[in-house]
């Protein structure tokens, strides 16, 4: 999602037993059981088929274990297989009290927080997902300023957001953080894939900048964990339109070349997002965008994941055709709507207008009916 208002969770008290040790201490699962690419589909728990899922940026920052369990139960009961989460929470000032943060960034010395208000919160999410067979896409950094992201690195290490990809000090700390997270969960059956960044952009840059960065970082992650999949996390900008479209999303003005990036050997699959309103196109743009990405992925011999999509109103009528296009397009292996909504002990989760709440009429249309169509 382009940008999010912060969901204020830091004031919640730490409830329930936090995990006291990284999950790497647990017995390693058989790597052959981890999610993998199978042709133009994904194999999950031994089954190769189209997969449905959703996004939750906020679940990684919940401090009540019962709330995490409730959400995971609802996801599993709904038949959703993949949940994409924020594996980052960067700060440039250490918060007081029990506020959740994962990484403090400073030119004079950064710190990765492995405490009860740090990566132990992500530990619980991973463990809860393992118990229910939910698979997680874990993202390492945000292009946007929500929960720190690249702007926090720039504040700590200087330069510009466009220069983040080649800023040696920023990249050194980013790799340290990636290594800490990957090392923590490299043995987990809950990890679907590692994701380099949420919606990486380099406005006005040559597409070589992100291409080289993604090549180098994905290779590095594979050296740390050769058994889990890796993906970029981009919006899918920069590809030939099937109808000759030259609209903004098809261009490379944001420094992203989808087709070129598909050629990176250490990226296992492509992803793409879609927010017509934010991009200045109509909702009818959706099915063609989906099909064009499917065609590019088919040509590259890799599956695509329709990783984020949303609209702020009339969810069922607008988004159902997008789901149908995704389900019927060769080369597209699954879709994850933005975003999951639920009722926690503290009340309703963040509603950004795109949210689909568990048990709602929109959820029946876009979750229950969609999963039924997949399984029919």
Structure tokens given for 15: 């409830």
330 catalytic residue (yes or no): no
Domain that holds residue 120: 36-375
Contact 88, 144 (CB under 8 A): no
pLDDT in tens, 169-224: 999 999 999 999 999 999 999 999 999 999 999 999 999 999 999 999 999 999 99
- What pTM did the predictor assign? 0.94
- Is there a domain that residue 137 lies in? yes
Across the chain, the runs of DSSP E, i.e. the strands, are: 36-38, 41-44, 47-49, 51-56, 82-86, 90-91, 103-104, 111-112, 135-139, 191-195, 229-231, 270-274, 304-309, 332-337, 340-341, 343-344, 347-348, 356-357
- Is there a domain that residue 247 lies in? yes
- Is there a domain that residue 232 lies in? yes
Contact 41, 303 (CB under 8 A): yes
- Is there a domain that residue 365 lies in? yes
279, 281, 286, 289 alpha-carbon torsion, rounded to 10°: -70
Structure tokens given for 233: 């996390």
List phi, psi (to 5°) of 332.
-100, 120
- Is there a domain that residue 219 lies in? yes
Contact 139, 34 (CB under 8 A): no
319 catalytic residue (yes or no): no
- Asked if residue 9 has pLDDT above 50, the reply is no
Structural domains of the chain, count: 1
Please pick, among 199, 235, 254, 319, the residue that the annotation labels catalytic.
199
Please pick, among 195, 235, 307, 308, the residue that the annotation labels catalytic.
308
Structure tokens given for 107: 């030119």
Residue 373's H or E segment, with its range, is: helix 369-375
3-state secondary structure of 271: strand
- Is there a domain that residue 208 lies in? yes
Exposed, middle or buried, 123 (CB in 10 Å: 0-12/13-18/19+)? buried
315-328 and 286-300 are packed helices; what angle lies between their axes, rounded to 10 degrees? 20
pLDDT band of residue 32 (cuts 50, 70, 90) is confident
- Is there a domain that residue 20 lies in? no
- Is there a domain that residue 270 lies in? yes
pLDDT in tens, 114-157: 999 999 999 999 999 999 999 999 999 999 999 999 999 999 99
Q: In this structure, what CATH number is given to the domain that contains residue 213?
A: 3.20.20.80
């Amino acid at each position: 999602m382009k940008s999010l208002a912060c969901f204020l969770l830091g004031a919640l008290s730490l409830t329930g037993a936090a995990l006291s040790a990284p999950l790497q201490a647990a017995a390693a699962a058989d790597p052959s059981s981890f999610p993998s690419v199978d042709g133009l589909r994904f194999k999950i728990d031994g089954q190769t088929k189209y997969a449905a899922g959703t996004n939750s940026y906020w679940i990684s920052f919940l401090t009540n274990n019962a709330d995490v369990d409730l959400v995971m139960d609802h996801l599993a009961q709904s038949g959703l297989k993949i949940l994409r989460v924020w594996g980052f929470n960067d700060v440039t000032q250490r918060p007081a009290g029990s506020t959740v943060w994962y990484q403090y960034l400073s030119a004079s010395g950064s710190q990765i927080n492995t405490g009860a208000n740090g990566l132990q919160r992500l530990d619980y999410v991973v463990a809860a997902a393992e118990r229910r067979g939910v698979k997680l896409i874990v993202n390492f950094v945000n292009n946007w300023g929500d929960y720190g992201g690249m702007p926090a690195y720039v504040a700590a290490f200087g330069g510009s957001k466009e220069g983040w990809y080649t800023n040696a000090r920023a990249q050194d700390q980013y790799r340290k953080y990636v290594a800490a997270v990957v090392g923590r969960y490299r043995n987990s059956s809950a990890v679907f894939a590692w994701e380099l960044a949420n919606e990486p952009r380099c406005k006005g840059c040559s597409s070589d900048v992100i291409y080289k960065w993604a090549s180098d970082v994905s290779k590095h992650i594979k050296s740390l964990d050769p058994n889990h999949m890796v993906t970029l996390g981009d919006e899918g900008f920069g590809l030939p339109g099937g109808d000759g479209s030259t609209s903004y999303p098809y261009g490379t003005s944001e420094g992203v070349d989808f087709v070129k990036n598909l050629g990176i050997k250490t990226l296992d699959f492509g992803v793409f997002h879609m927010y017509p309103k934010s991009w200045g196109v109509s909702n009818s743009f959706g099915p063609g965008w989906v099909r064009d990405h499917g065609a590019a992925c088919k040509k590259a011999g890799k599956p695509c994941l329709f990783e984020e999509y949303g609209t702020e109103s009339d969810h069922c009528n607008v988004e159902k055709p997008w789901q149908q296009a995704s389900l019927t397009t060769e080369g597209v292996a699954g879709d994850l709507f933005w975003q999951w909504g639920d009722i926690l002990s503290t009340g309703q989760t963040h509603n950004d207008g795109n949210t689909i709440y568990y048990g709602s009429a929109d959820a029946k249309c876009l979750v229950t009916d969609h999963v039924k169509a997949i399984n029919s």
